[in-house]
Amino acid sequence: MIAHRTFELIAPSGYPHDPEAIRRALHRLHAQGHHVEGVHATERRFQRFAGTDGERAAELNHLADPSRKLPDIVLAVRGGYGAVRILHGLDYEGLQRRLTDQPIALVGHSDFTAIQLALLSRAGLKTFGGPMLLGDFGAEELSEFTMQHFWNALTKPTFTVTGSVPQAQAVDVSGMLWGGNLAVLASLVGTPYMPPVEGGILFVEDVNEQPFRIERTLYQLHLAGILERQQALVIGDLSGGKAFEYDNGYDLNAMIEHVRSVIGIPVITGLQFGHIPNLLTLPVGADAHLVSDAHGFKLTVSGYPYLS
């Protein structure tokens, strides 16, 4: 039985392009007895963005207001592009004061990675990589897998996810779980918004990128010294890239094997995270323990804000 929760919608990136999906998502949340605030975030448009930079930053900064009651779940409407444009306008000190150790879940993925990593770096705030309003809650067919893992992650102090893909490397490591969209993450290298994580477990995903583009982005993290400081790299979904005859056998598997040979840390594959219908929810900034062998992997996480 899912408790009735208060959702607050935010749209820090692109505007939602499918009104019918928004209608489905809101109907489903209301039908479950949840209260939804911030619906106006689904209606704003400025160029390709869900409002001006100032409007989108103010939406997040509103969470720092000590006079208002906090929602249970802050849910990103969609990804796209635009979050990086508002990072300099966020009230990190105010958000840190108001949200630290509070039972509140900020959830999203894709372009929302920029917000998540900035909040972790500048305010020490832990958030959740997970479903969004438009593509997940508003999907034509709601994924039971996605919803089950969403509520499990948000309402329990610890949980474990497993993968059945056989692993080439045996791993038993612990560290901070962090990551998100690979392209967005790499774009923050050298900025104040990249968390200086040492000994972490880094998870990444991307969509509609060819293997060589993914490799180039991983090389950026490698050459910047970020990967060598982690305990392991966990690869999520990398689907959508076109195969070309010119690739001549160079596919995702070949790319991953090459990356594994040069970065100096274990590479784990098969994480159900990314632009996929059946999506895990993963806390960014949580404590994690990762074990892998020839039969798959097990990832146990704890130490994140959860809803009682």
Specify whether the CB–CB gap between 48 and 57 falls below 8 A: no
φ, ψ (nearest 5 deg) of residue 207? -140, 145
Tokens of 195: 């968390």
3-class DSSP state for residue 275? coil
The sign of the dihedral angle between the CA atoms of 138, 139, 142, 147 is negative
Enumerate the active-site residues: 110, 205, 275
- Give Cα separations from 240 to 26, 99, 148 (angstroms): 28, 36, 25
- Burial string for 165-193 (b: 16+ CB within 10 Å, else e) reads eebeeebebebbbbbbbbbbbbbbeeeeb
